[in-house]
Amino acid sequence: MIHGVPNDQRAQSLVVERIESLEALRALEPEWRSLEERAQLALPFLTFDWVTAWWKHFSEDKPTLRDSVFSRAVRSPSGELIAVAPMMLSERPGFGPLRMREVHFFGADPNVTELRGRLCVADAEVQVHQALLDDLLTCSDRWDWVRWSGIAAGRSPETLLDETARMRWRPNISNFVLPLKSTWEEQRSTLRRNIKESLRKCYNAPLRDHHAIEFQVVSSADGIRAALPEFFRLHRARAEAPGMVMHPDVFHAKASSDFLVDVCDRFAARRMTRVFQLLVDGQVIASRIGFAVNDSMYLYYSGFDPAWSKYSVSTRVTAEAIKYAIAEGYAEANLSTGNDISKTRWGPQERVFREGFMRSHHRRGRLAFRGYQQAVRIGEQSVVGRIAHQLIARRSSS
């Protein structure tokens, strides 16, 4: 690829291709899928399937909000695809001289896309970010600010953006990944005493009360379609249960549930979707979705029947999913984002990602970004602001 080229020359030798139509984005499919393997992708959110399904269900074209494809493909001097930055331009309102223009990555939804950013081969991260930065600056009259996402904390791309783009960083995003041992027994031996005790109770307590809890993995396309309504029911039940740790119903909006059905179906065709279930007498009492991405099993959202919460069925379905990943030979189980005890209790590694804003150097961009910040503050503090926010919100927010 680009080995042996000095760092300061690599970015100059890369070719940035502007992908600014849905047709051009779809045309990348064969190369994009190949890049998913070469880049050792471990996140479902950067796959071709996730990105194109996201555009189908969440992109907007209305008077108050208009999205357009603003993506970039980065190629080596020989023409090989080494990075894809699935970005879009969002304008609020959708027309007129006072609109605010944000460039950001696909995945601008409340919680459905847990991590977003660019897909890149590991040995060209800095050069790719430099090439993307150079390209965006040459067209800075077309945007007011860029929201960079998926920047690994403590890595060179973060330093590059800090030094050249005067970033305004937002709070960090933590992603917890559990390296897997060769057997469940070995994995269990690494756990702390409190989680070992929780596991013992969630397996033994139902037996004492004469409940036979069964575990099953749904992986066929037809089976997954049949399992998703049960998942939505249990996810909603968990969100609505009183007296428990608050968990939002991420899929309450039709756009969000339709998206998940679509992306699970696309992944199922590639044997990447799993629905983990606990059952009692044929009734599903807990469910968790998993995405198999190369050597990683990404454990996505879950749900359970609150009537069975005393048996810690949420912990049990996660344990069974980890057992399954070990038995199938996956290298890691990704416990998803969010710094909470349901993830940290397993003793995972923490991977920290950053997101921040880069303003255009044009006066219009500075004013627009200032107006955006003020609008956010007003939206948080007044009824009128909240109504205005709903007008410019995506379908996933309603």
Indicate if 61 and 166 belong to the same structural domain: yes
Indicate if 301 and 389 belong to the same structural domain: no
CB 88 within 8 A of CB 106: yes
Tell whether the model's pLDDT for residue 365 goes beyond 70: no
Domain assignment of residue 144, yes or no: yes
Indicate if 107 and 206 belong to the same structural domain: no
CB 264 within 8 A of CB 228: yes
| Peptide bond connecting 242 to the previous residue in cis, omega within 30 degrees of 0 | no
Domain assignment of residue 343, yes or no: no
Note the pLDDT tens digit of each residue in 198-254: 999 999 999 999 999 999 999 999 999 999 999 999 999 999 998 777 789 999 999
Indicate if 289 and 155 belong to the same structural domain: no
Domain region containing 205 = 181-330
Nearest-10 crossing angle of helices 156-165, 125-138:
20
Note the pLDDT tens digit of each residue in 4-28: 334 444 556 899 999 999 999 999 9
Indicate if 45 and 136 belong to the same structural domain: yes
In whole angstroms, what is the distance from residue 248 CA to residue 81 CA? 38
Indicate if 200 and 87 belong to the same structural domain: no
Which of the four pLDDT bands, split at 50, 70 and 90, describes residue 353?
very high
Note the pLDDT tens digit of each residue in 128-173: 999 999 999 999 999 999 999 999 999 999 999 999 888 999 999 9
Domain assignment of residue 344, yes or no: no
The CATH number of residue 279's host domain is 3.40.630.30
Domain assignment of residue 325, yes or no: yes
Note the pLDDT tens digit of each residue in 78-106: 999 999 999 999 998 888 877 899 999 99
Nearest to 44 by CA among 116, 128, 142, 97: 116
Indicate if 285 and 193 belong to the same structural domain: yes
CB 143 within 8 A of CB 101: yes
What is the predicted pLDDT for the residue at 2?
36
**Burial of 330 per CB tally in 10 Å (0-12, 13-18, 19+):** buried
Note the pLDDT tens digit of each residue in 302-332: 999 999 999 999 999 999 999 999 999 999 9
Domain assignment of residue 272, yes or no: yes
Domain assignment of residue 384, yes or no: yes
Indicate if 313 and 372 belong to the same structural domain: no
Indicate if 80 and 215 belong to the same structural domain: no
